[in-house]
A and B are shown apart, each in its own frame.
Chain A
């Protein structure tokens, strides 16, 4: 049931773009994206709902393909502050809990 994230890690130079993917073997009610910096709590970035509505960060976009049960997070013109581990959380089933992927570690270098 745990969503699968790819890639596991990515290294960027400032200004470069990145895409992080999240896929599930089960139908999804919603997908939630978080960023966690070392030693800190995860911070909410974006939520994607069935039907295509998005809520979240102005400099980060995401897509949600319900049929493929996949979501992608797009980071454009990356900044040093984008470094951290990105987690997708998928909502499945009637309990309405988030199950998180293993995370994608993003490092942005000057």
Chain B
């Protein structure tokens, strides 16, 4: 089991505010991810990182940004929150590559529920 910690777990914020969702992992995983999931819906990859100073956009376009200054830390920032950003944001990490001989998989944090009013 991977240890991934997300804060805050729940956040209600007004439109136009800047927010940062924190994510830390203690497994030393090089690769980290952010997925966005609306209630009852599928997971969409919005950002990922191969390691320090690496950030890439995922399959779903997002107005959020990420940074990776330390291996264990992968925060997500919204400069100006809007109601359309209301969703659950899941941070995850893994060893890389996934389909190695040993078979690595992605481990998820408990998620951050964001509501923008």
Contacts and interface: CB of A to CB of B under 8 A. Distances in A.
A102 interface: yes
A96 B40 CA distance: 25
A97 B33 contact: yes
Contact of B103 (A1, A53, A100): A53
How big is chain A's contact interface, by range? 20 to 34
Interface of B: 31, 33, 35, 40-43, 45, 48, 56, 58-59, 90, 96-99, 103-111
Interface of A: 1-2, 29-30, 32, 40-44, 47, 49-50, 53, 55, 85, 87, 89, 91, 95-103
B106 A96 contact: no
Given A42-B108, A91-B98, A97 B42 contact: no
19 contacts: A29-B98, A30-B99, A30-B103, A40-B110, A41-B90, A41-B108, A41-B109, A41-B111, A42-B108, A43-B108, A44-B105, A44-B106, A47-B104, A47-B105, A50-B99, A89-B43, A97-B48, A98-B45, A100-B42
